[in-house]
Chain A
Amino acid sequence: GQNIDQPTEMTATEGAIVQINCTYQTSGFNGLFWYQQHAGEAPTFLSYNVLDGLEEKGRFSSFLSRSKGYSYLLLKELQMKDSASYLCAVTPMNTGFQKLVFGTGTRLLVSP
């Protein structure tokens, strides 16, 4: 099975850097996703990691270490619009239909 853990809530200041961690215990997975979800809206895709290492995309970066069962999402130069929930999800191996298993999400509050 899969067990995915994320902090429930984090706060940060505009312009700062924040790191949102995701740890997982899983029997195996294909890849790890990060989604962003603003309050009352649909989750939207942010990043995907299949290999160990850092994937950078503008202000957002995502890191994966399979051996440590660990991922993080790094947000730089925080803006007020980054206030949202951030969802970590894995695609379990051998599901055939590419199911996603989600963590409970981390709510990020960015203050001025």
Chain B
Amino acid sequence: DVKVTQSSRYLVKRTGEKVFLECVQDMDHENMFWYRQDPGLGLRLIYFSYDVKMKEKGDIPEGYSVSREKKERFSLILESASTNQTSMYLCASSLPSGRGEQYFGPGTRLTVT
């Protein structure tokens, strides 16, 4: 079974702090994704990566950056956290071929105070 893990289930940070969210997958998937999920807005894509050191902006990249130094690890960085970044953050991975089914991690509930 594919396993996608995220470094924290719950995180509380202060406004202005730099925040790192880590995601690791164990199935050698090329594609990795970061989403945020908010009530009434659904899952929105922040960034995705299709290979090591490669990244593409999603629909809402403002205020975020990413890093992919190794194939299995994809990090989301909030350079200066703000209260409107309080959300559930979900990481996912998939193969580049086939139907594109994505496998999700358990999520990180981030609260910025």
Contacts and interface: CB of A to CB of B under 8 A. Distances in A.
B77 to A, nearest CB: 20
Interface stretch (B11-19, B68-76, B79-87, B103-111): B103-111
B105 A30 contact: no
B29 to A, nearest CB: 11
Given A97-B48, A97-B56, A98-B96, A104 B104 contact: no
A96 B48 CA distance: 12
Interface in A2-50: 8, 30-31, 33, 40-45, 48, 50
Contacts of B105: 42
B45 A41 contact: no
B100 A100 contact: yes
Contacts of A105: 42
A44 B56 contact: no
Nearest to B39: A104
Nearest to A44: B104
B64 interface: no
B87 to A, nearest CB: 14
B106 A41 contact: yes
Nearest to A96: B50
B48 A99 contact: yes
Contacts of A44: 104
Nearest to A89: B43
Nearest to B90: A42
B106 A30 contact: no
A41 B37 CA distance: 12
Contacts of B44: 102
Nearest to A45: B101
A101 B58 CA distance: 10
Given A31-B100, A98-B96, A104 B41 contact: yes
A42 B99 contact: no
Contacts of B100: 30-31, 91, 98, 100
Interface in A67-112: 87, 89, 91, 96-105
Interface of B: 4, 31, 33, 40-45, 48, 50, 56, 58, 90, 94, 96, 99-107
3 nearest A-B residue pairs (beta carbon): A98-B100, A104-B42, A42-B104
